[in-house]
């Protein structure tokens, strides 16, 4: 955004102010996330920088909060539970979601708008309402407080993301490819697995990542539908934040931030790959 030579002094001043505002907003967005990283290495049980830390003395830093995370039974059970729930929920969302997205992408599906609205609804309805409804209904059918109950609930929450990403990939899909495959004698299943699937795979994977993150990060529904034996990582963090806040939370938070950076990178790479496959140029 280079300024033109004819820019007035007033405009030049405004331009500087404008850039300062933007810088402030970027700072506001990123600083709270970045600041917890050094704080998680605090040798004291404080939530602020100690003088030793500010002077970069090595005794100000330690790994004790990380150590606590990896040895504490509560945190480890929570972590295990999260990893027991999220992958299975993701698998269900992706499997059902992808098949449905293929169906939805066909021309003139009856009641398409209504069906789409129903499938997207778990993303629209506020979580507290979904959680309340699931709590009532799942207690009626005996799923409240069970592992299966949470997996099903999380799968439902992840489905809109799979539907959105996979239908988006299918928009640019060349239908003559499936016709050609059928022409050459392949059955519908074979055509799907050999022709369609490899082409929409980036969309399926990024939809899956969204579904995974949704489940892995979800706390409201778990609080209501789950019971103490299904305590997940976010649940443990939530109770920690509400009751006795311990600095271990900062270590967990740092690990999660790194995880999200990794995920962000993967999704971006997938997006580029998908565009390349479909012949849409990014630049």
Partner 1 sequence: MPPFFLKDNILTESKQIVHQHDLQKSLKRSQVRQKVNALLLISPLLLFILITFVFPIADMLFRSVENQIVSRTLPGTIEELSKWDDDSGLPSEQTYFLLAKDLKIAVENKTHTRLGSRLNYEMSGIASTFRKTGRSIKKWDIDQEINYKEKFLNIDKKWGNIEFWRLLKLYSPKVTSGYFLNAVDLIKTTEGISQRDETERIYLFLFQRTIYMSVLITLLCLLMGYPVAYLISSLPLKTANLLLIFVLLPFWTSLLVRTSAWKVLLQQEGVINDILVLVGLVGDLDRLQLINNQFGTIVAMTHILLPFMILPLYSVMKTIPESYVKAAKSLGANEWTSFRRVYFPQSIPGVGAGCILVFILSIGYYITPEIVGGTSGTFISNRIAYHISYSLNWGLGAALASILLVAVLILYYVYDKIIGIDNVKLG
What part of residues 133-192 is at the interface with partner 1 (CB under 8 A)?
133-138, 140, 152-153, 155-156, 159, 161, 164-165, 167, 175, 178-179, 182-183, 188, 191
Q: What is the pattern of x (binds partner 1, CB under 8 A) and - over residues 222-241? A: -xx---------x--xx--x
Q: Work out which of 13, 45, 67, 103 binds partner 1, going by CB under 8 A.
A: 103
Which of 79/119 has CB closer to partner 1? 119
Q: What is the pattern of x (binds partner 1, CB under 8 A) and - over residues 58-87? A: ------------------------------
Q: What is the pattern of x (binds partner 1, CB under 8 A) and - over residues 237-266? A: xx--xx--x---xx--x--xx--xx-xx--
Q: Which of 42, 84, 47, 129 is nearest to 233 (CA)?
A: 84
CA 241, distance to chain mean position in Å, is: 21
Per CB under 8 A, 43 contacts partner 1 = no
CA 82-85-91 angle, to 5 degrees, is 130
Which of 62/106 has CB closer to partner 1? 106
Tokens of 230: 């299904």
> Least Å distance between CB 73 and partner 1?
20
CA torsion through residues 231, 232, 237, 238, sign: negative
Length of the chain: 283
CB distance 153 to 226 below 8 Å: no
- Select the span of 60-68, 72-80, 118-126, 273-281 touching partner 1 (CB under 8 A): 118-126
Which of 164/199 has CB closer to partner 1? 164
Block residue for tokens 């939805």: 104
Per CB under 8 A, 46 contacts partner 1 = yes
Which of 127/277 has CB closer to partner 1? 127
Write the CB contacts of 81 (distance below 8 Å, at least 6 apart in sequence).
Answer: 230, 231, 232, 233
How far is Cα 222 from Cα 267, in angstroms, rounded to an integer?
Answer: 26
> Least Å distance between CB 113 and partner 1?
9
> Least Å distance between CB 79 and partner 1?
13
Could you give the count of Cα atoms lying within 13 Å of 177 in the half-sphere of its Cβ? 16
Name beta bridge partners: 42: 61
Which of 77/239 has CB closer to partner 1? 239
> Least Å distance between CB 63 and partner 1?
18
If one counts every other C-beta atom within 10 angstroms of the C-beta of residue 120, the result is 15
């Amino acid at each position: 955004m280079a300024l033109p030579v004819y820019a007035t002094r007033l405009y030049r001043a405004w331009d500087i102010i404008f850039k300062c505002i933007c810088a402030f907003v970027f700072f506001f967005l990123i600083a709270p996330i970045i600041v917890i990283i050094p704080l998680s290495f605090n040798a004291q049980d404080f939530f602020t920088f100690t003088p030793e830390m500010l002077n970069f003395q090595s005794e100000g830093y330690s790994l004790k909060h990380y150590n606590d995370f990896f040895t504490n039974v509560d945190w480890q059970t929570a972590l295990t539970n999260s990893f027991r729930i999220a992958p299975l929920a993701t698998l269900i969302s992706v499997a059902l979601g992808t098949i449905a997205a293929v169906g939805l992408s066909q021309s003139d599906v009856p009641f398409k708008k209504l069906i789409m609205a129903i499938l997207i609804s778990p993303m629209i309805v506020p979580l507290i309402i979904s959680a309340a409804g699931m709590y009532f209904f799942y207690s009626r059918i005996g799923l409240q407080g069970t592992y299966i109950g949470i997996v099903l609930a999380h799968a439902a929450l992840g489905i809109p993301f799979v539907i959105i990403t996979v239908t988006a990939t299918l928009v640019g899909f060349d239908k003559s490819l499936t016709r050609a495959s059928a022409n050459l004698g392949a059955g519908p299943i074979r055509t799907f697995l050999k022709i369609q699937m490899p082409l929409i795979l980036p969309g399926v994977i990024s939809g899956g990542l969204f579904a995974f993150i949704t489940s892995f990060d979800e706390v409201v529904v778990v609080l209501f539908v789950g019971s103490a034996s299904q305590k997940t990582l976010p649940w443990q963090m939530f109770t920690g934040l509400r009751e006795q806040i311990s600095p271990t939370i900062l270590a967990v938070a740092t690990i999660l931030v790194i995880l999200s950076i990794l995920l962000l990178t993967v999704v971006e790479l997938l997006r580029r790959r998908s565009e390349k496959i479909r012949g849409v140029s990014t630049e």
